[in-house]
Amino acid sequence: KQEVTQIPAALSVPEGENLVLNCSFTDSAIYNLQWFRQDPGKGLTSLLLIQSSQREQTSGRLNASLDKSSGRSTLYIAASQPGDSATYLCAVRPIGYSTLTFGKGTMLLVSP
């Protein structure tokens, strides 16, 4: 059974810092991996989707990498801003399945 772990569970940084959020998964047979952002009281917003054949994806100040062999993905946020404060979740889609397995998320607080 696929398990997804996100470390740390919470992170607090001052504005302007570059930071890395970690996601690990137990079964490397994945079709893709997706990073989401969730603001309090809101739904999940898709940030980046990495297909299993890809090593990384970039969107603005966000960069997500994927290392299937080690079962790891990282989300890099450059020059963090208070508006980046949210919970970040990663989810993997196993090969042959249509459903995603989610981590429990990392709650990020960026202080001005």
Partner 1 sequence: DAGVIQSPRHEVTEMGQEVTLRCKPISGHNSLFWYRQTMMRGLELLIYFNNNVPIDDSGMPEDRFSAKMPNASFSTLKIQPSEPRDSAVYFCASSLGPGLAGGTGELFFGEGSRLTVL
Q: Minimum CB separation from partner 1 for residue 34, in Å? A: 6
Told to check if 69 binds partner 1 by CB under 8 A, we report no
Q: Minimum CB separation from partner 1 for residue 112, in Å? A: 27
Q: Which of 12, 26, 45, 59 binds partner 1 (CB under 8 A)?
A: 45
Buried b (16+ CB within 10 A) or exposed e, 20-31: ebebbbeebebe
CA distance 78 to 26: 28
Please give the C-alpha separations between residue 75 and each of 41, 56, 84, in angstroms, as whole numbers: 23, 10, 13
Which residues contact partner 1 (rule: CB under 8 A)?
31-32, 34, 36, 41-46, 49, 51, 89, 91, 93, 98-100, 102, 104-105
